[in-house]
Amino acid sequence: MKAAIIDLGTNTFHLLVADIDKNDYRIILEERIAVRLGAGGINQNIILEDGMQRAVEALQIFKEKIDEHKIKNVFAFGTSALRNATNSSEVISKIKATTGIDVKIISGDEEALYIYEGVKLALNLKSEKHLIMDIGGGSVEFIIGNGYEIFWKQSIEIGAQRLLENFQKHDPILKSEIETLNDYFNSQLQTLFDAVRVHAPGILAGASGSFDTLSDIHHLKERIPKQNLPETELTIEGFEKIFLEIISKNRTDRMQIPGMIELRVDMIVVSSCLIKFILDKCRLKQIRVSSYSLKEGVLASLMRI
């Protein structure tokens, strides 16, 4: 069957159109739009009027693409911003009235499960335990698993839009702001630290988003040819170099870094601070980057129907 999968993220909306068969798939179309659904209201648990309007306009564009491909099976999922917004029903009603698309808000636990399935589709995890991490605008999903099972998972509301609005008041970010961020991570991630002590993953598997951009920068810096594959390269040494560059530059100068994109230039600072913290705190020895995440996880689940 042909299906359209829509991920209504806090920062970015993604569309994936695929031809799906038992144990096989062919991606026909991928689109993304920077909607910034949570901008200005994420920490007050509300979708502002302009964010609501951007959401409806993005879904109208996606609907045109879906209709062009004559897709009847549409699966649309709302995540952290919609999950926590007191006016989420109003947003969903406007989308339905304008586009006919039904949006299902999923729990953080469901989101983490789909992310695991997407990463598993992209990376050959085998029997080695990975700490899978997906940094969204509203939440961050952490999953400890291998190619056969999940050992632990949790969605935590410390996404990049929240961090940006709460902690980064200067650009370039101040050393004191990074220290405050690290103190905050220490206070919010105790359940993760406990799980890491029990399950001892050795590899960080970064899912999509900021990890994609960091990988793009790494490829260009190291002159590594980039192929259109679901796994892309990023080393810890490469990340450390990029991290130091990112935290020392303002927005204009960050945009000059080869591989940086407008979509990520603001949140990449706090996202990189979180990645650096996790690498150091959890003593991870390797990074892998999956360009697959939630929407591909939904695709994987549809392949089993």
What pLDDT score was predicted for residue 241? Answer: 98
Whole-number Å distance between alpha carbons of 226 and 55: 32
What pLDDT score was predicted for residue 78? Answer: 98
> How confident is the model over 201-255, as pLDDT tens digits?
999 999 999 999 999 999 999 999 988 899 999 999 999 999 999 999 999 999 9
Which residues have CB under 8 Å from 193's CB, separation 6+?
281, 282
List the domain boundaries for the chain.
2-106, 124-295
> How confident is the model over 72-115, as pLDDT tens digits?
999 999 999 999 999 999 999 999 999 999 999 999 999 999 99
The span from the first CA to the last CA of the chain, in angstroms, equals 11
124-295 classified as CATH 1.10.580.10: no
Percentage of the chain beyond pLDDT 90 is: 97
Q: In the predicted model, is pLDDT for residue 23 greater than 90? A: no
For residue 226, what is the DSSP state?
-
What pLDDT score was predicted for residue 77? Answer: 98
Which residues have CB under 8 Å from 227's CB, separation 6+?
none
Kindly report the average pLDDT of the chain as a whole number.
97
Which residues have CB under 8 Å from 167's CB, separation 6+?
177, 180, 181, 184, 270
Which residues have CB under 8 Å from 76's CB, separation 6+?
5, 6, 8, 59, 95, 101, 102, 103, 104
What pLDDT score was predicted for residue 82? Answer: 97
The answer to whether the beta carbons of residues 296 and 16 sit under 8 Å apart is yes
State the chain's maximal CA–CA distance in angstroms.
53
Which pTM does this prediction carry? 0.96
Q: What is the mean pLDDT of residues 40-60?
A: 97
The answer to whether the beta carbons of residues 226 and 234 sit under 8 Å apart is no
Q: Which CATH class is domain 2-106?
A: alpha beta
Alpha-carbon distance values, 248 to 238, 239, 241, 243, 253 (Å)? 16, 14, 11, 9, 9
> How confident is the model over 268-277, as pLDDT tens digits?
999 999 999 9
Q: What is the mean pLDDT of residues 279-286?
A: 98
CATH topology match: 2-106 vs 124-295: yes
Backbone angles phi, psi at 143, to 5 degrees: -135, 130
What pLDDT score was predicted for residue 305? Answer: 67
What pLDDT score was predicted for residue 60? Answer: 98
Alpha helices per DSSP H over 123-235? 160-167, 175-188, 190-199, 209-221
> How confident is the model over 108-139, as pLDDT tens digits?
999 999 999 999 999 999 999 999 999 999 99
> How confident is the model over 180-202, as pLDDT tens digits?
999 999 999 999 999 999 999 99
